[in-house]
Amino acid sequence: MSTTLEKPRPTEPAAFAAEERSTSTSVHRPGPPLANWLRAHGRDLLWLLPVLLISAVVNFLNLGGSPQRIDDEGTYTAQAWAVTHLGELAHYTYWYDHPPLGWLQIAGYTQLTGAFERWDIAVLAGREAVLVAALVSVVLLWALARRLGMSRGAAAATGLLFALSPLAVQFHRTVYLDNIAVPWLLLAFFLAMNRRGQLAAFAGSALAFGIAVLTKETFLLALPVLIWVMVRAARRETRRYTLSVAASILVLIGGSYLLLAAVKGELFSGAGRVSLIEGVTFQLGSREGSGSLADPDSLLNRTLGMWWQLDPVFIVLSLLSATAALFLPRFRPYALLLWGMTVFMLRPGGYLPVPYVIMLIPFGALLIAGVTDGAIARLRRKNATRRGLALGAVSVAAIGAVVAVPLWTTQLRGFVLADLDEPLRSAQGWLIENASPDQRLIVDDAMWVDLVKAGWDRDNVIWYYKLDTDPAVQTQSPNGWRDADYVVTTDSMRTFPGAFPQVQEAIDNSVVVARFGSGTQAVEVRRVTIDGAEQAAMTAEAAEANRAALGAQLATNPEVALSDQDRDRLTAGQVDARIIAVLATLAGSGSVSVSGFPIVSGEDGMTFRQVALSAIDGSPAVVDGVLGPDAKALVESLDGTYEPADVAIDGDTVVLRYSVSLQSTLP
C-alpha cells in the first residue's frame, strides 16, 4: 500500500492536521455547554451507544456461568476484599509479585458500588469491575480511532471487535489486572496524540501510563511506542518542555512504588521479610520459563493453543493488519507495538503469562478496522494508486468476516448459555453444608473469600500456593499437609503436579468424598487421611464388608419397611453404618418406614449417609410441617457418634444426614 493515502504535513500525520483544521474552523454557538456538546457529538453518540449496549449485554450475560472461576482471579478478588474488609493490602503476606494498584482499583469500585454485598460469589464482584473497565476501554478505543482519522463506522467496528471476539470475551470476563490497566494505556495514547494544551495532555498521558504500569507491570513494554507517539505529536517549539514534564511525572509515579517498599522497610532483601527486590527478581529472572514452541507439552504451547482455539480469525487478521499498517504512518506505532510484543512473548526461555494477550486485543481490533477502513477509502477514490492492494485488504477482511460469523456464534453461544462454574459452586456449597468451620481446608483461591464469609477462620482456609511458599502459613501448619482436613482439587492445582510438595502430599494421602463436573472443569473434594490413602482404602474395604453383613440382617427384619432398591443398597454395604445402627435400634422397639437413602449432591457411587423416615412405630414422622412426637423423640435421643450433622423436613419425611466418616463406627 502507498503512503499517498495519508497526505501528511511534513512533520505530522494527517490525523493531527485534520484536528488542526477542525479546531481552526470551529464556531462558537450560544447555548448551554451540554447542549452544544450534544449537538457537536450527536452523530458520534448514535454510533457509539449501540456498540456500548451490545458490548455490555454480551459480556454481562451469564457472567457467573462461563468461564469457570480460576485461581488467579480468586487471588486478585481476595486481595481487593482484604483491602475493604480486613484493612490489609492482601489476604496473605504481600510480597511484591505485582504492584497493588490493580486490586486497589477493584477494591475502590466494589466499595463504591457495594459489589461484594450484591454478589453471592465474591469473584463475580471482581468480574463486574473488570467488565466495567472493558466498557470504558470501548469508549477510549472509539476516541483513539477517531483521532487517528478513522470513519465512524470503522471506529464502531473497532469497539465491536474488541468487545465481542471470543478471545476478548474469555479474558474480559476474568479478573485479571491487565483488564484494569488497558483503559489507562488507551487513555495514555489518546492524550499523547493531543495537539491542543499539550502540557496538560502530555502530563495526563504520563500519569495514565504510570497508573497502567502500577496496575500491571508488563505494560511497561509499551513505553517506547508511547514516547514515539509523544515525540511525533509534540510541537517543535515546546517539545523539550512538554516531554520533560511528562518524563518527570512518569519517574515520580514509578518512584512512589519504591517509596512504598522503603517506608515498609521492604525495599531490599533481608532475613524473615519480603522485599521489592526479591519480587522484581522473581518476575524478571528466576521465574520458570514457559518452555519452547517446539515442545507440544510446554506451557507456551498450551497458552497459545488456548488463544488460538478461542478465535483464530482475530489472531490471523491482527497480524496481517499489523503487517500492512507498517506502511501507514498513522498506524505504524501501533503495528510495531503489536508485532514487538508478539516477538517478545516468543523469546527463548521467557515466561508467557496467560493474560498477556489482553494488552494486544485492543490494538489488534484497532489495526483490523483501521487498515480495512483505509483500503475502502482508497477504493472509493478515483485514480487511486495501488488499488489492487486495497482490494486485497478488503477481500481478506471480508473472508475473515465470513469465517468469523459461525465461529463467533458458536463460541458466544457457549459463553451466554454454558454453566462451566457449576462444579466449583457445588463443591463450595458441599463444603459449607458438610464440613465444619473448625476444619482446615486447602483450596483454590477462587473460593477463599466465600468460605471465610461462610464462617471459616481465615487461617483455616489455606490457599494451596501458600502452603509451600509462605513461612507464615507454614508456622500455622507445623505438621504440613497433615494439619489439613480437606483438600479441594481444581484444574489449577492439577496443572502443576509436583510443583507444590506439601499440596501433592495432601492429595496423595486423601480419598475423594465428593466429585463435581468432568474434564478440565472437574472439582474433587478429598478427605485427608493421616495414615495415607492406601490404608484408608483398606479400611474402607473392610468397613464396606461389615456394612454389607449388618445391612443384610437389617434388610430381612419385618419391622423395617423399605423399597427393594433400598434393600439392595443395604445388602451391598452402601449405607452408612450409623444409619444401619439407628434403624436397627428403631426396629428393635417398634417399626420404622424408610422412604429412601437420598444421595448427597456430588457423592454418586459413594456411601449413602442420608436416610429419609416417613413413619416411626406407626406414627407419621412429620405432622403439619413439623416433626411428629416419635420423630422428635428420636432426634433428641441421638447423641455422640450417632447424632446427625443435619436434620431436615422434606415433605412428609424427616431426613437425617450424617457427617463424612472414613472410620467404622459400629462396635
Is the model's pLDDT at 34 over the cut of 90? no
Is residue 483 within 8 Å of residue 477, measured between CB atoms? yes
pLDDT bucket at 19, cuts 50 / 70 / 90: very low
pLDDT bucket at 383, cuts 50 / 70 / 90: low
pLDDT bucket at 273, cuts 50 / 70 / 90: confident
CA angle 121, 125, 131 (to 5 degrees): 130
pLDDT value at residue 266: 85
Is residue 463 within 8 Å of residue 92, measured between CB atoms? yes
Average pLDDT over residues 98-107: 96
The mean pLDDT of the chain is 91
The CA-atom distances, in angstroms, between 469 and each of 89, 218, 499, 500 are: 18, 24, 11, 8
Average pLDDT over residues 184-197: 95
In degrees and rounded to multiples of 5, residue 149 shows phi and psi of: 90, 15
The verdict on whether omega for the bond into residue 558 sits within 30 degrees of 0, i.e. cis, is: no
In angstroms, the CA 334 to CA 326 distance is 9
pLDDT bucket at 11, cuts 50 / 70 / 90: very low
Is the model's pLDDT at 49 over the cut of 60? yes
530 contact partners, CB below 8 Å, separation of at least 6: 482, 509
The CA-atom distances, in angstroms, between 326 and each of 2, 190, 204, 340 are: 11, 20, 27, 12
**What ranges do the domains of the chain cover?**
3-417, 422-530, 541-657
Residue 87 CB neighbour total at 10 angstroms: 7
pLDDT value at residue 28: 53
In angstroms, the CA 430 to CA 432 distance is 6
641 contact partners, CB below 8 Å, separation of at least 6: 578, 665
Average pLDDT over residues 600-609: 95
The CA-atom distances, in angstroms, between 379 and each of 139, 382, 387 are: 28, 8, 6
Copy the grid coordinates of residue 614. 416417613
Average pLDDT over residues 22-42: 65
The CA-atom distances, in angstroms, between 291 and each of 258, 348, 603 are: 32, 8, 39
pLDDT bucket at 145, cuts 50 / 70 / 90: very high
pLDDT value at residue 268: 83
Which of 99-103, 534-538, 564-568 bottoms out in mean pLDDT, i.e. has the lowest? 534-538
Tell me what percent of the residues of the chain surpass a pLDDT of 90.
77
pLDDT value at residue 384: 66
In angstroms, the CA 384 to CA 378 distance is 6
pLDDT value at residue 272: 73
- Of 276 and 2, more confident: 276
In degrees and rounded to multiples of 5, residue 487 shows phi and psi of: -130, 130
pLDDT value at residue 292: 86
pLDDT bucket at 485, cuts 50 / 70 / 90: very high
The CA-atom distances, in angstroms, between 219 and each of 163, 196, 639 are: 20, 26, 61
Copy the grid coordinates of residue 440. 482446615
With residue 163 as reference, give the H or E element that holds it.
helix 152-164
Is the model's pLDDT at 665 over the cut of 60? no
pLDDT value at residue 661: 80
pLDDT bucket at 8, cuts 50 / 70 / 90: very low
Is the model's pLDDT at 2 over the cut of 70? no
pLDDT value at residue 568: 96
What is the side-by-side order of every strand in the sheet holding 523-528? 461-463, 441-443, 486-489, 523-528, 510-516
Average pLDDT over residues 410-420: 96
In angstroms, the CA 635 to CA 638 distance is 5
Average pLDDT over residues 107-134: 97
pLDDT bucket at 385, cuts 50 / 70 / 90: low
Pairing mode, strands 486-489 and 626-627 = unpaired
In angstroms, the CA 254 to CA 276 distance is 13
Give the model confidence (pLDDT) of 212-224 as tens digits. 999 999 999 999 9
State the DSSP string of 264-323: TT-SS-BTTB--HHHHHHIIIIISPP---TT-TTSHHHHHHHHHHHH-HHHHHHHHHHHH
Q: 3-class DSSP state for residue 49?
A: helix
Is the model's pLDDT at 21 over the cut of 60? no
In angstroms, the CA 409 to CA 314 distance is 14
CA angle 552, 557, 562 (to 5 degrees): 85
CA-based nearest residue to 634, from 651, 650, 654: 654
Copy the grid coordinates of residue 262. 522503603
Is the model's pLDDT at 27 over the cut of 70? no
Average pLDDT over residues 323-347: 96
Pairing mode, strands 523-528 and 592-596 = unpaired
pLDDT value at residue 31: 67
- Of 335 and 267, more confident: 335
Amino acid at 454: A
- Of 25 and 78, more confident: 78
pLDDT bucket at 667, cuts 50 / 70 / 90: very low
Amino acid at 340: G
pLDDT bucket at 517, cuts 50 / 70 / 90: very high
The CA-atom distances, in angstroms, between 337 and each of 319, 331, 430 are: 11, 10, 47
Which of 6-20, 180-194, 337-351 bottoms out in mean pLDDT, i.e. has the lowest? 6-20
Is residue 315 within 8 Å of residue 307, measured between CB atoms? yes
Give the model confidence (pLDDT) of 435-473 as tens digits. 999 999 999 999 999 999 999 999 999 999 999 999 899
Is the model's pLDDT at 290 over the cut of 50? yes
In angstroms, the CA 276 to CA 543 distance is 54
Tell me what percent of the residues of the chain surpass a pLDDT of 70.
93
State the DSSP string of 348-414: TT----GGGGGGTHHHHHHHHHHHHHHHHHHHHSTT-S-HHHHHHHHHHHHHHHHHHHHHHHHHHHH
pLDDT value at residue 25: 41
Q: Is 200 left (phi over 0), alpha (psi -120 to 50) or beta?
A: alpha
Is the model's pLDDT at 411 over the cut of 80? yes
- Of 169 and 296, more confident: 169
CA-based nearest residue to 273, from 282, 265, 262: 265
State the DSSP string of 543-584: HHHHHHHHHHHHHT-TTEE--HHHHHHHHTT-B-HHHHHHHH
